[in-house]
């Protein structure tokens, strides 16, 4: 009887997930068509993304690429040159880039059938998150409405989670969305400590007695993969080791999820022993070794600036201050949230950091140019420069300020995308019901 009840419950959940999936398509706007003709945005304040701000500037693009960018332009644009959009009083920014996210891989956390962000097992280097990316997610339009136009879709689970991909957030399918199909390998470094209790009632920490063994197992797997790479041809193909080849010729990086300072030092020693490039992910204690990270040129994807401090005796504002401390030390870093629907607030986390050690333009770089550099995509996206993708947002207000930010238009590779979403539709519906203007 228990088995029958379990099967029935599983069937009900699957049916719910199926109905949800099929019902969500109308709430997801149709992807924009390719850019037709030239487009000029005039009389705007343009934040280039590399620290420069252009006043009364014009930006033009054709075939998805930026072809014109000038402050107080010497030429006058008119309808004979193409479509002209007057942006007087508006701010133009590069499209925001979300890193270390599971957007498109997870839909409803409580319904397992809608989650495809982790595989069973400890070592899964051959998992490619890009092929699971769902372009029909209801979450994605809510991100675009706040200016997030690109995402690094990363797998989770096990010690070696798999390979991330980079997508643009307006596409018919994952092939159309893919900007970089195979970005880097994500791993979860074993933790030296385990939190006791549960998230609502934590009860301190205890030592992880298996830490040394877990690190040794991880190191042995990487050494075997390196030996496989060095041999060259093989009679039998090992899919896991094949997926790791790019690590040892340094065409790819290893993204290591790690938080505590001692663990970070172990990760650095691990990388130096194997001769691989690493990026520290989450990295809450990174400010403690900022000088080491700068010296060794190790980038950081810093997670959750809107968070509580890690330690009881730590400065209550430390999560806000960490980006500024990394900036001052000369570390290449970016700000991340590391979730999916929460990514719509990424720009406001950067805004908070701008009040605790960063300038506004440095905070903008932390969610545009810096993530592009970390993922080796800075020749395509991240800043508004000639020859790069025309991926930008037009805001009536400060993008980093929750009170004034209002995204009015957005373009991905020159395509003007639809900024509607389910939440906007519900707001409009119930505003009419209750007579709210």
Nearest alpha carbon to residue 210 among 193, 195, 196, 198: 193
Q: Which domain holds residue 146?
A: 96-100+130-416
Cβ of 20: how many Cβ atoms within 10 Å?
15
5 domain residue, yes or no: no
Distance between CA atoms of 270 and 137, rounded to whole angstroms?
38
What digits encode the pLDDT tens for the residues 138-185? 999 999 999 999 999 999 999 999 999 999 999 999 999 999 999 999
CA-angle at 167, arms to 163 and 168, nearest 5°: 170
333 domain residue, yes or no: yes
- What distance lies between CA 145 and its chain's CA centroid? 16
13 domain residue, yes or no: no
Average pLDDT over residues 331-352: 94
What digits encode the pLDDT tens for the residues 45-104? 999 999 999 999 999 999 999 999 999 988 787 778 899 999 999 999 999 999 999 999
Assign 223 a pLDDT band (cuts: 50, 70, 90).
very high
429 domain residue, yes or no: no
CA-angle at 171, arms to 170 and 172, nearest 5°: 145
Q: Are 301 and 333 in contact (CB under 8 A)?
A: yes
- The structure's pTM equals 0.91
Residue 433 or residue 57, greater confidence:
57
pLDDT score recorded for residue 368? 98
Q: Which of 40-54, 114-128, 192-206, 410-424 has the lowest mean pLDDT?
A: 192-206
63 domain residue, yes or no: no
302 domain residue, yes or no: yes
Nearest alpha carbon to residue 182 among 226, 243, 137, 235: 243
Long-range pairs of 200-207 with CB within 8 A, sequence gap ≥ 24: none
Q: What is the 3-state secondary structure (H, E, C) of the chain?
A: CHHHHHHHHHHHHHHHHHHHHHHHHHHCCCCCCCCCCCEEEEEEEEECCCCCEEEEEEEEEECCEEEEEEECCCCCCCHHHCEEEECCCCEEEECEEEEEECECCECCCCCHHHECCECCCCECCCCEHHHHCCCCCCHHHHHHCCCEEEEEECCECCCEEEECEEEECCCCCHHHHEEECCCEEEEECCCCEEEEEECCEEEEEEECCCHHHHHHHHHHHHHHHHHHHHHCCCCCCCHHHHHCHHHHCCCCEEEEEECCHHHHHHHHHHHHHHCCCEEEEECCCHHHHHHHHHHHCCCEEEECCCCCCCCCCCCCCHHHHHHHHHHHHCCCEEEECCCCHHHHHHHHHHHHHCCCCCCHHHHHHCCCHHHHHHCCCCCCCCCCCCCCECCEEEECCCCCCCCCCCEEEEEECCEECCCCCHHHHHHHHHHHHHCCC
CATH number at residue 246: 3.20.20.140
Q: Are 194 and 208 in contact (CB under 8 A)?
A: yes
Q: Which of 196-210, 223-237, 400-414 has the highest mean pLDDT?
A: 400-414
203 domain residue, yes or no: yes
Distance between CA atoms of 384 and 212, rounded to whole angstroms?
46
Q: Is the confidence at residue 6, as pLDDT, over 80?
A: no
Number of domains, the chain: 1
pLDDT score recorded for residue 437? 65
Q: Which of 69-73, 168-172, 283-287, 424-428 has the lowest mean pLDDT?
A: 424-428
Cβ partners under 8 Å of residue 435, min gap 6? none
pLDDT score recorded for residue 22? 41
- The edge-to-edge listing of strands for the beta sheet with 333-336 is 160-163, 184-188, 253-258, 278-282, 300-303, 333-336
436 domain residue, yes or no: no
């Amino acid at each position: 009887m228990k088995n029958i009840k379990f099967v029935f419950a599983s069937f009900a959940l699957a049916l719910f997930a199926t109905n949800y999936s099929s019902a969500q398509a109308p709430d997801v706007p149709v992807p924009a068509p390719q850019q037709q003709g030239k487009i000029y945005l005039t009389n705007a304040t343009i934040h280039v993304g590399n620290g420069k701000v252009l006043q009364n500037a014009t930006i033009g693009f054709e075939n998805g690429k930026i072809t014109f960018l000038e402050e107080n332009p010497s030429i006058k644009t008119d309808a004979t040159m193409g479509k002209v959009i007057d942006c007087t009083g508006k701010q133009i920014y590069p499209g925001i880039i979300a890193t270390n996210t599971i957007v498109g891989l997870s839909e409803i956390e409580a319904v397992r059938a809608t989650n495809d962000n982790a595989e069973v097992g400890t070592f899964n280097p051959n998992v490619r998150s890009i092929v699971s990316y769902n372009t029909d997610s209801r979450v994605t339009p809510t991100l675009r409405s706040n200016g997030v136009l690109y995402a690094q879709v990363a797998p989770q689970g096990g010690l070696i989670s798999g390979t991330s991909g980079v997508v643009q957030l307006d596409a018919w399918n994952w092939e159309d969305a893919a900007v970089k199909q195979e970005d880097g390998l994500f791993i979860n470094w074993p933790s030296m400590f385990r939190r006791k209790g549960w998230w609502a009632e934590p009860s301190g920490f205890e030592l992880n007695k298996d830490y040394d063994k877990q690190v040794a197992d991880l190191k042995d797997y990487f050494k075997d993969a390196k030996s496989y790479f060095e041999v060259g041809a093989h009679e039998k193909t090992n899919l896991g080791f094949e997926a790791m080849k790019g690590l040892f010729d340094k065409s790819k990086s290893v993204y290591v999820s790690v938080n505590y300072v001692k663990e970070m030092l172990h990760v650095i020693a691990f990388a130096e022993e194997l001769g691989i490039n690493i990026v520290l992910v989450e990295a809450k204690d990174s400010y403690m070794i900022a000088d080491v990270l700068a010296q060794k040129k190790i980038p950081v994807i810093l997670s959750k600036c809107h968070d509580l401090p890690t330690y009881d005796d730590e400065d209550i504002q430390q999560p806000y201050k960490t980006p500024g401390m990394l900036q001052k030390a000369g570390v290449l870093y970016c700000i991340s949230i590391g979730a999916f629907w929460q990514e719509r607030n990424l720009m406001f986390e950067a805004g908070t950091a701008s009040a605790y050690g960063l300038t506004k333009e440095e905070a903008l770089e932390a969610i545009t140019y810096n993530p592009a550099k970390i993922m080796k995509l800075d020749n395509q996206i991240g800043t508004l420069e000639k020859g790069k993708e025309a991926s930008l947002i037009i805001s009536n207000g400060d993008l980093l300020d929750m009170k004034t930010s209002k995204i009015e238009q957005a373009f991905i590779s020159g395509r003007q995308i639809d900024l509607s979403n389910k939440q906007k539709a519900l707001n409009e519906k119930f505003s009419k019901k209750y007579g709210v203007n």
